[in-house]
Structure 1
Amino acid sequence: MERPLYLDCAATTPADPRVAEVVARLLVEEFGNAGSRTHEYGLMAHREVGRARDRVAGTLDAAPDEVIFTSGATESNNIAILGLAAPGVARSKRHIVSTAIEHKAVLEPLAHLAENGFDVTLVKPDRAGHVDADALLAAIRPDTLLISVMHGNNETGALQPITAIADGLPEDGPYFHVDAAQTYGKETPALRHKRIELISVSGHKVFGPKGVGALLVRRRRGNRIPIQPLMWGGGQERGLRPGTQPVALIAGLGLAAELAEKERTRRMEICQRMRKQAIAELSPLAPTIHGDPQRGVLPHILSIALPGIDSEAIMVALKHVVAVSNGSACTSASYQPSHVLEAMELSEDEVAGTVRLSWSHLTGEVPWNTIVSILADLRL
């Protein structure tokens, strides 16, 4: 049976064939341990890790030693948030500001800190899914340790005003962490703001392999941010992420990062055309579209609500045609209402009827006529 067209790129992307080739070569032929410096295999692996670090750093206008390789954005988020807990306690700074629409990889570490004496303020979005920069900045207190804001929402595609937030932060104020899983390699220029000191990156959202990511930890006036490790043993990645470095995956991320930057404009143009076409083709169904284009939305994500039709029914009806979801991969797996859509204060019908379509520059022709016909039949 022919497989449905994949329209869930916000959950994961296919690996670029050029990236897959490098990963395979390093797994099979040049398989040395980057920590083994006594022979050529280890030295070659060490060089591959260094090259990848240079590539990722170059895309973010950062120094190579500010890039820490991790297993993905979830681990990066945990290190950035939980790793600042002890320094925060030592400085009597136990307040954190974030938003109600963050990924669970941010909200759950924040909940853990809240259970252990920290005060967490979650700023709510408007009904389109955007957070107001002034409202977030107004939540800062003298004891605020960290601001953590997702750049592009993984469910709605709504871009958050990270530049305005960064511009409004005092030089010696709270650290600023951005979860850039959805925007790295796409909206990268905004991430180069020097006041954004912590950035989480995921390999499998930028056409690289799963199981690898990065945390950018910028220096502040030449000083390293005092993040503490969550694990110990081996001292790799400046002691913040010990363990044998997955050379093949790291090299894959490095190449994927470089390719994304070189091809970013073309990729974005393709995704923008696809989004415009999707909205036009779906218009007879009069969907509610989440995210305000005037305030910025990701061109590869389209979140729509079809009131009166349950999202589960939509996904079942379309499963042989296209692969779509009703939220983040984590939320979809739990069969719970989306916390993002609930934070936007949408009606129960809108929450229940929301599906997410997400594509990439590698996506083929979308059978919109078939999709619209199936969805129209659901309303009969």
Structure 2
Amino acid sequence: MGIYLDFNSSSPIDERVLTAMIDVYRNVAGNADSRTHNFGVSARQVVENARGEVASLLNVNKDEVFFTSGATESNNIVLQGLKEYSEKTGKKHIITTSIEHKAIIETCKAMEKLGFEVSYVNPKLDGRVAYEDVVSLVREDTLIVSIMHVNNETGIIQPVKEIGEFLADKEVYFHIDATQSFGKLVDELKQIKFDMLSMSAHKIGGPQGIGALILKKKRYKLPPVKGIMYGGQQEHGIRPGTIPVALVVGLGYACSLVANEYRENADKCQKIKEMLLAELDNSGISYRINGNQECCVPNTLNVCFDGVSSEALMLSTKQYCGISNGSACNSKSYEPSFVLSAMGIPVDQIENSVRISWGAEADFEEVRASFKELITVAKGLVF
């Protein structure tokens, strides 16, 4: 099968997290919302401990953390959950970018059908949206600005810190999709002024199927987000349904691990990136990097091999490594990446581009060996 190099789609679960979850499955039988017996109390205790671990990683309060099934659901709750507030205030303008995850873009399209106006900001060729292009669109009826922190295809860091500073004293809500930065850009996230934040556990060595929505209080009040499903008052009505205790514990424990290890993890990932770039330079193959590496996370590389079809390359290197040519939510589509298209990259270059993403646990020499094999295959596919 080769080595797994598609961490931006999903990272392998950390064995320590899995062990903690198995312990919960074996020993915590109760429903966390059952208040009439000790089994429910025990379940609630481990849930609240995990909530505290998530809150600590972001430097927010425990009562600002709401568990969901992941960032896609959190993103939907943020946008759809503000409909009632928008009706009361007349604020029906949304600002986002053209390179967001489909969980934002598709939800925005649905909101447009309900009478909302959405402004989509395009990035520059370097993969980064300009701060000025975003804030210049803010107006009296702007409801929310929703910007991803790190793009999932290119790894480019967006100017959310600057945007947050601008919006801090405005009557406009600011949402960050931190799916690719949560647990990685820890210090930066703690400094950003936001009202809402989405994340998923499976990007940081946690389990799939669990994530969180952060709703920060302002003047002691939560943002006026309402639940978009019916079925109970779990998570204060923001997200009804039985809390998956073991998954929540997995998320919380993953947060506690990266809280202690994120700097070391970043260093390991950066060394792998430097090695990959050196291998490219020494290979003699014609290539180009998509996105400005000066504002890129250390675990992602989006590279175009000139004259090499990305589909052919991925199929021909399956025995060496698992890579992709974009977001997993678009993997069944054969259309060019909408992210690279929005950056203004020519179609032929897009069709020759692949995304490589890794984690700190990836073996340095194994990555090197597999990447060399990939380059060798790419050379044979040049047309």
Q: What is the TM-score normalised by the length of structure 2?
A: 0.96
Q: Does 1:307 align with 2:306?
A: yes
Residues 28-66 of structure 1 show CA distances to partners (whole Å, capped at 9, x for unaligned) of: 222221112222221111001000000000111111000
Q: Is the 8 A contact 1:324 1:357 kept in 2?
A: yes
Structure 1 distance, partners of 2:128, 2:256, is 29
Q: Is the 8 A contact 1:159 1:298 kept in 2?
A: yes
Residues 82-105 of structure 1 show CA distances to partners (whole Å, capped at 9, x for unaligned) of: 111220121010001000000000
Letter aligned with residue 377 of structure 1: G
**CA displacement at 1:281 relative to structure 2:** 0.6
Instruction: Look up the match of 1:293.
Output: 293
**CA displacement at 1:173 relative to structure 2:** 2.6
Task: Name the CA shift for 1:194/1:219 in 2 (closer, same or farther; >3 Å).
Answer: farther
Q: How does 1:96-245 map onto structure 2 within 5 Å?
A: 96-193=94-191, 195-245=193-243
Q: How does 1:277-356 map onto structure 2 within 5 Å?
A: 277-283=275-281, 284-294=284-294, 296-356=295-355
Q: Does 1:371 align with 2:374?
A: yes
**CA displacement at 1:194 relative to structure 2:** 5.8
Letter aligned with residue 298 of structure 2: P
**CA displacement at 1:190 relative to structure 2:** 2.2
Q: Secondary structure of 2:66's partner?
A: strand
Q: Is the 8 A contact 1:202 1:214 kept in 2?
A: yes
Q: Is the 8 A contact 1:149 1:178 kept in 2?
A: yes
Task: Name the CA shift for 1:90/1:304 in 2 (closer, same or farther; >3 Å).
Answer: same
Residues 124-162 of structure 1 show CA distances to partners (whole Å, capped at 9, x for unaligned) of: 001121000111000111100000000000001010011
Instruction: Look up the match of 1:357.
Output: 356
Q: Is the 8 A contact 1:100 1:343 kept in 2?
A: yes
Deviates more, 1:230-239 or 1:145-154: 230-239
Letter aligned with residue 195 of structure 2: E
Residues 201-238 of structure 1 show CA distances to partners (whole Å, capped at 9, x for unaligned) of: 10101100000000000011221110011012220001
**CA displacement at 1:310 relative to structure 2:** 1.0
Deviates more, 1:211-220 or 1:302-311: 302-311
**CA displacement at 1:170 relative to structure 2:** 4.6
Q: Is the 8 A contact 1:166 1:193 kept in 2?
A: no
Structure 1 distance, partners of 2:181, 2:52, is 19
Structure 2 distance, partners of 1:86, 1:337, is 37
Instruction: Look up the match of 1:69.
Output: 67
**CA displacement at 1:374 relative to structure 2:** 1.2
Structure 1 distance, partners of 2:335, 2:66, is 33
Letter aligned with residue 261 of structure 1: A
Instruction: Look up the match of 2:54.
Output: 56
**CA displacement at 1:302 relative to structure 2:** 0.5
**CA displacement at 1:178 relative to structure 2:** 0.4
Q: Secondary structure of 2:22's partner?
A: helix
**CA displacement at 1:198 relative to structure 2:** 0.4
Residues 299-355 of structure 1 show CA distances to partners (whole Å, capped at 9, x for unaligned) of: 111001112111101101111110000100011222222110110111111110110
Structure 1 distance, partners of 2:358, 2:161, is 26
Letter aligned with residue 101 of structure 1: I
**CA displacement at 1:285 relative to structure 2:** 1.8
Q: How does 1:75-90 map onto structure 2 within 5 Å?
A: 75-90=73-88
Structure 2 distance, partners of 1:39, 1:263, is 37
Unmatched segments (≥5 aa) in structure 1: none
**CA displacement at 1:379 relative to structure 2:** 1.6
Q: Is the 8 A contact 1:162 1:190 kept in 2?
A: no
Unmatched segments (≥5 aa) in structure 2: none
Letter aligned with residue 289 of structure 2: I
Q: Is the 8 A contact 1:151 1:161 kept in 2?
A: yes
Letter aligned with residue 318 of structure 1: T
Match of 1:266 among 264, 267, 285: 264
Structure 2 distance, partners of 1:48, 1:170, is 34
Q: Does 1:256 align with 2:259?
A: no
Match of 1:36 among 21, 34, 37: 34
Q: Is the 8 A contact 2:305 2:378 kept in 1?
A: no
Task: Name the CA shift for 1:270/1:170 in 2 (closer, same or farther; >3 Å).
Answer: closer
Q: Is the 8 A contact 1:8 1:325 kept in 2?
A: yes
Letter aligned with residue 25 of structure 2: L
Letter aligned with residue 186 of structure 2: T
Q: Is the 8 A contact 1:72 1:211 kept in 2?
A: yes
**CA displacement at 1:188 relative to structure 2:** 2.1
Q: Is the 8 A contact 1:331 1:337 kept in 2?
A: no
Q: Is the 8 A contact 2:286 2:306 kept in 1?
A: no
Q: How does 1:21-32 map onto structure 2 within 5 Å?
A: 21-32=19-30
Q: What is the TM-score normalised by the length of structure 1?
A: 0.97
Structure 2 distance, partners of 1:285, 1:259, is 39
